[in-house]
């Protein structure tokens, strides 16, 4: 059974993430979506909230072959624990590639038995980034083209809690 891990912070999960998840699920027998922390990012949602959000969003895609798991460790250690043969990473632009290429190289140094596979986001989804979705929402913009209605509602509710920016 071929298993892959698709790691990310998913803060929040976007239509771009969902595109990669759907496509990656066709490439493997089992896809593990790893929801993690990233010390360089300021999350809008807790790990538990993101875990539930991702589970809800992939429920229709899951088909029993997708699991959603929180982790707070080296990606390669997590991949080994999950029995993964590959890491799936989504790419949007050249800037993504440079960062992801460096990460793939470091991960290969840690464990060269696990391959990194890059999937390009669909053309219409390439500009979408969680960071930008949060920024748009914080300034009162419409994020409905970038996330599902349920995620948009959850982001709006969080913005209402923490307060909008700008005037």
Catalytic annotation, residues: 17, 41, 92, 130
3-state secondary structure 81-102: HCCCCEEEEEECCHHHHHHHHH
- Please give the Cα distance from 61 to 44 (Å, whole number): 25
Residues 6+ apart with CB under 8 A from 5: 31, 32, 33, 34, 75, 78, 79, 82, 84, 86, 87, 88
Query: Contact, 71 vs 123, CB < 8 A?
Result: no
- Please give the Cα distance from 94 to 17 (Å, whole number): 18
């Amino acid at each position: 059974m071929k298993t892959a891990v698709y790691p990310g912070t998913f803060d929040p999960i976007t239509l771009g993430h969902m595109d990669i998840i759907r496509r990656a699920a066709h490439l493997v027998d089992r896809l593990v979506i790893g929801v993690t922390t990233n010390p360089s990012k300021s999350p809008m949602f807790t790990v538990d909230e993101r875990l539930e959000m991702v589970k809800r969003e992939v429920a229709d895609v899951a088909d029993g072959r997708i699991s959603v798991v929180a982790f707070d460790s080296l990606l390669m250690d997590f991949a080994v624990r999950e029995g993964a043969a590959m890491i799936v990473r989504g790419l949007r632009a050249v800037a993504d590639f440079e960062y992801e290429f460096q990460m793939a190289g470091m991960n290969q140094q840690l464990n060269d038995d696990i391959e990194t596979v890059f999937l390009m986001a669909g053309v219409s989804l390439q500009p979408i980034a969680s960071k930008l979705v949060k920024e748009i929402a914080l300034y009162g913009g419409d994020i409905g083209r970038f996330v599902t209605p349920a995620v948009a509602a959850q982001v709006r509710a969080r913005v209402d809690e923490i307060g909008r920016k700008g005037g």
